[in-house]
Amino acid sequence: MKKVLLVLLVVSFACKNEKKTEVKEEKSEVVNEFALVKEFNNQDIAFWANTGTALIETTEMYANKEVYTLSRTSPDESSYLSTNPVAINYASNYRISVIVKRGEVGNLLGLRMLGTYPDRVDAVFDLQSGTLKEVKKTRDFEDESAEIEDLGEGWYKCTLTAEVAADFIRILLGPTTSEKSVLGWEGKTNEMGNVYVIPSSIVIEEVTQKVISN
């Protein structure tokens, strides 16, 4: 009987010690934070390069912003709209975005984040089905990803993210066709095409990560 009581006391004492030393486990999650680097406006358009494209303002407005048509002008040459370069921090993560809508001819949009050529990341979006066709990077860009968000009434927000091995980036965009590869979406093609685009919706953001404890 004494032995049984001794064993019970030992077990009870051990359990109390275990509870005292028990450490509460903390859960944490990593979330992305976005810091605005550049929000383009209509005055910036004067410094952009139109290669084989025509950018024409329409009478339409979306979210109080002017809507333009971006069209290929010839099937026999490369075709893209290019912003002026924007300075960034080398080897940091960046996200670019633009609001677009399918035009009257074709339904594919090509989007590129370009550093020092050929370092870049490209994506092609289907503006009819609202889906991402493909995303690819070349050379020293890393962690590439792309998304398309349905805003309603045919409008979509297309985003492209990557770790950028450059001190500056340009944004290239334009209509493309299914015959072109994702890394060559701007190349000459047998088909014409156009899209509706809001130039003042084009944004560059730096992406950082923050650990949140729960």
Give the model's confidence band at 24: pLDDT under 50 very low, under 70 low, under 90 confident, else very high: low
The pLDDT of residue 4: 43
Which stretch of 40-44, 83-87, 104-108, 185-189 has the lowest confidence by average pLDDT?
A: 40-44
More confident residue, 174 or 11: 174
Domain contains 188:
yes
How crowded is residue 13: how many other Cβ atoms within 10 Å of its Cβ?
Answer: 10
Answering whether pTM is above 0.75, one says yes
Q: What is the pLDDT of residue 209?
A: 82
Domain CATH code at residue 80 = 2.60.120
pLDDT given at position 67: 97
What is the per-residue pLDDT across 177-191, written as a single tens digit (0 to 9) for each? 999 999 999 999 888
Q: If you average pLDDT over residues 130-158, what whole number do you get?
A: 97
| DSSP code, position 80 | E
The answer as to whether 16 is a domain residue is no
In a domain? residue 138: yes
Looking at the domain assignment, is residue 189 inside a domain?
yes
pLDDT at 55: 96
Q: Could you give the number of structural domains in the chain?
A: 1
| pLDDT per residue as tens digits for the range 27-45 | 778 788 999 999 999 889 9
CA distance 3 to 92: 67
When pLDDT is cut at 50, 70 and 90, the band that residue 59 belongs to is: very high
What is the pLDDT of the chain when averaged over all its residues? 89
Q: Are strands 131-138 and 120-126 parallel, antiparallel or unpaired?
A: antiparallel
C-alpha 164/C-alpha 93 separation (Å) is: 6
Is residue 15 one of the residues assigned to a domain?
Answer: no
Tell me the two tokens of residue 99.
């609001």
Tell me the residue range of the domain where 69 lies: 29-213
Q: What's the pLDDT score for residue 7? A: 42
Where does residue 15 rank: exposed (0-12), middle (13-18), buried (19+ CB within 10 A)? exposed
Q: What angle do CA 201, 167, 89 make, to 5 degrees?
A: 75
Tally of CA atoms within 13 A in the half-sphere of 51 that contains its CB? 14
All residues at 6 or more sequence positions from 181 whose CB lies less than 8 Å from its CB, including other chains:
none
Q: Please check whether residue 88 lies inside any domain of the structure.
A: yes
* Number of residues that make up the chain: 214
Domain-located, residue 23:
no
Alpha helix (H) ranges present in the chain? 2-21
% of the chain with per-residue pLDDT over 70: 87
DSSP state, residue 48: -
For residue 115, is it within any domain?
yes
Structure tokens at 110: 């090509």
